[in-house]
Amino acid sequence: MKAALFDLDGTLVDTTELIFQSMNHAVTEVLGEERSREELMANVGQPLPAQMKYFDAGRADELLEAYRTYNDEVHETFIASFPNVEESLARLRDAGIKIAVVTSKRRHSVGLALDSFPALRDVVDHFVTMEDTTEHKPRPEPLLKALELLGGVSREEAAYVGDSPFDIEAAKAARLTSVGVSWGAFTGEALRAANPDHLVSDLDAAVDVLLNL
């Protein structure tokens, strides 16, 4: 095991409520509709432009603009931390394992998250954002880009950790070990349906899995 790749939203940073509130605002403001939490969160993990097309393909740009404007405004109100993230990642670093974050967020939004939790910069070697690849999760390209940035780590020497079925699908497409985590936006049942190689309920357990691969 030479590299551990992590999703950001719902995996290392608790943005579930932030995303929900932003989705709800965008759909209500632009479409004048009420959607269930389940429907609003069903495609979290894919890039935002793709998610907005599920609500209304013809008004996806308006939805995206409303989401991003509101998300920036309330970012500090709703973003929250998960326990022991930096300490858990430091265990991997101490074991000589390289770390990358692979997210569908744009670079601007990743920067806001890092402003909230600057210690992540000290334990993550590289961040792959939406702008860094032309294809996005659940396609494998962002994960393969991370392996390239980490010095050409092979697929067999890496794993991807994420909280959505799209993360697991991306790991499988890239032929990486997949680790699903159940503390984010999706239930353990939804993750089990995606058939991850491992499913864990806290970050320390995920690190234990990675250290024993």
In the residue annotation, 14 being an active-site residue is answered as no
β-bridge mates for residue 160, sequence order: 5, 178
Query: Catalytic pick from 7, 9, 14, 167?
Result: 7
CB atoms < 10 A from the CB of 172, how many? 18
CB atoms < 10 A from the CB of 82, how many? 17
User: What's the CA angle centered on 104, arms 16 and 93, to 5 degrees?
Assistant: 85
Instruction: Please provide the distance, in angstroms rounded to a whole number, between the alpha carbons at the two ends of the chain.
Output: 6
Pairing of strands 13-14, 80-81: antiparallel
28-44 as b/e: b if 16+ CB within 10 A: eebeeeeeeeeebbbbb
- Which is nearest to 40 in space by CA: 18, 61, 73? 18
Catalytic residues: 7
